[in-house]
Structure formats: structure tokens, C-alpha cells
Structure 1
Amino acid sequence: MSKGLLHHIEIYVSDLKRSIGFWSWFLEELGYMPFQEWESGQSWKIGDTYIVFVQTEERFLDISYHRCRVGLNHLAFHASSRQHVDEITEKLKGEGANILYAEQHPYAGGEDHYAVYFEDPDRIKVEVVAP
């Protein structure tokens, strides 16, 4: 039964090519598969849920995103283990991603919450949480 589960998430981005480069390896690491691709967007799917990235129209690019304003604060994904969180953290560092709360990593969410927090190219906060 899929009642209540997310069907999809659509995120408008400032530079589609840069966002695809950032998100593709990460989503595929979590088990998402490329789903749809068109001139101004691309999506990845896992089960019945998919995530879509769409190029923001040029006329809206001067309005910047900030996670503390009204709207999306962050996306949080399940990892398979603490080791998986650690592996993703190392890959993120290799990609030059901004790791948030580095001084408290991997317990920035509390001593019972093993996770990595980071930003995508548009500074959307992303979290990967161990079981």
C-alpha cells in the first residue's frame, strides 16, 4: 500500500548540469536509478518514489534560496549502516561538498543520531542517517 508515501519531490535548481553532477552519484549510491531526462530536467527513482531536478527559468535566478526561509529546510535519506554514512561522507569530501556541523560530525543531531549533513550546489541541506 502506498497511501501516504511520497510520490515525488521536484526541486528547481540554478544550474541543472552542476546539480546533476552533484546528485547523480549520491542518489545512485542510495539505490536510485536514472528515471527520466529532458532538456530542462532529470529524475531518479527508487521504488515508487522519484526525485526531479528542473532548471530554474532565468527570470527567477536572481531570487536566492536559503533553507531558513519559508520553504524546504532539508531532505533526509536513510543509509544502510554507520559505515555507509562514513563512506558517503568521504565521497562528499572528495567531491568538495560543504559538510555542515563538521565539528560535531557524525553526532550533530545528538548522540543517538549518526548522520552526515551537507549542502548541494544550491545550498539545500541534505542529511543521510544511519539506522
Structure 2
Amino acid sequence: MSRVVGIDHISVRVSDFPKSKAFYSGLFEFLEFEVLDEYEDSIGWTNGKTRYWISQADAVGRKHKHRTGDVGLHHYAFQLRNRKDVDELQTYLKKHHVTIVDPADEYYDDYYAVFFLDPDGIKLEGMKYGEKHEKAEMKHGSNAAAKK
């Protein structure tokens, strides 16, 4: 039986390759990704674990923009190290006039995220889950060890 051990990459079609390349190049430089490979109408980045590719949509595909709610990709989430990284991402997004659809906040119990749009309206997310629980466990573990 085959077993998936991770997601290797995502590949997204864009309406304006040069515009999207500029957007993602800045974003991925900020997120510490490097260019994996580049071709005439596509480019991929990696951080050694995650790979993200964009390619030019064909003429038919460029006739309609992405709309969250249509069949297909709803959003893509980048897991960050901590809540501070989420806040720093939001600062980067504001500085670069990126549309933020949901600002950095706790959206679920111990789920801290910022949601934003790429040039085609594809929803992206920077998030950290579990940081408060991790800190509580560390504190609880330290207290238990101190009592012994």
C-alpha cells in the first residue's frame, strides 16, 4: 500500500506572470524561500520542505479571475514558527500594500493567522497553531519537574 509522507508542491496558474512573479518573489524572499527553478512562463520556490510554483495561465484561463467560493482552491496556508512571525508577515503585507482580507488574530482556539490575496485574488494565509498550548505544556512540565 502507498503512503503519502507530505505534500511535495502546489502549482498555481496566474493571469499576469510578471506581476505575480514580482509579488511572490518579494513574499518568498520575506518567508526565506529560494528560487528552485525558473522557466520562460513558470517559476518555483522552496524552503527545503515546501515548494510553490506559479505558471502563466493560457488565453482561456486569463478570461476569468479566481474567486474564492468557486470549485477549486479555497486558500493556501503557510505554517509559520510562531505568532510573532504572523505579525511580522502582516507588517510586510501592509508595507507592500497587499490586500489583507482577515488581519492577524486568533480565529480558532490557539489558531493565529493573517489572510491575504495574491494579485489574482487567490487567498493565502500565514498561520501558527498551538503556540499557547505548547507554552502551557512547557510551563506545566517545568513546574512538575521542579516539584520532584
TM-score bracket, shorter-length normalisation:
0.7 to 0.9
For structure 2, the residue ranges without an aligned partner over 5 or more in a row are: 130-148
Larger Rg: 2
Normalising by structure 1, report the TM-score.
0.87
One-letter code of the match for 1:15? D
Runs of 4+ residues deviating >3 angstroms? none
Q: Which has the higher helix share?
A: 2
- The structural deviation recorded for 1:111 is 4.7
- Please give the secondary structure, in 1, of the residue aligned with 2:81: coil
Q: CA deviation at 1:101?
A: 2.5
State how far apart, in whole Å, the 2-side matches of 1:111 and 1:4 are: 27
**1:1-131 correspondence to structure 2 within 5 Å:** 3-102=4-103, 105-107=104-106, 109-131=107-129
| Larger relative contact order, structure 1 or 2 (CA cutoff 8 Å, min sep 6) | 1
The alignment-based identity, stated in percent, is: 31
- In the TM superposition, residue 11 of structure 1 has moved relative to its aligned partner by 0.3
Task: Give the TM-score normalised by the residue count of structure 2.
Answer: 0.78
Unaligned runs of 5+ in 1: none
Distance 1:33 1:24 in 2: 9
Mapped to 1, the partners of 2:16 and 2:73 lie a distance apart of 18
- Figure out how many residues of one structure are paired with residues of the other and give that number: 127
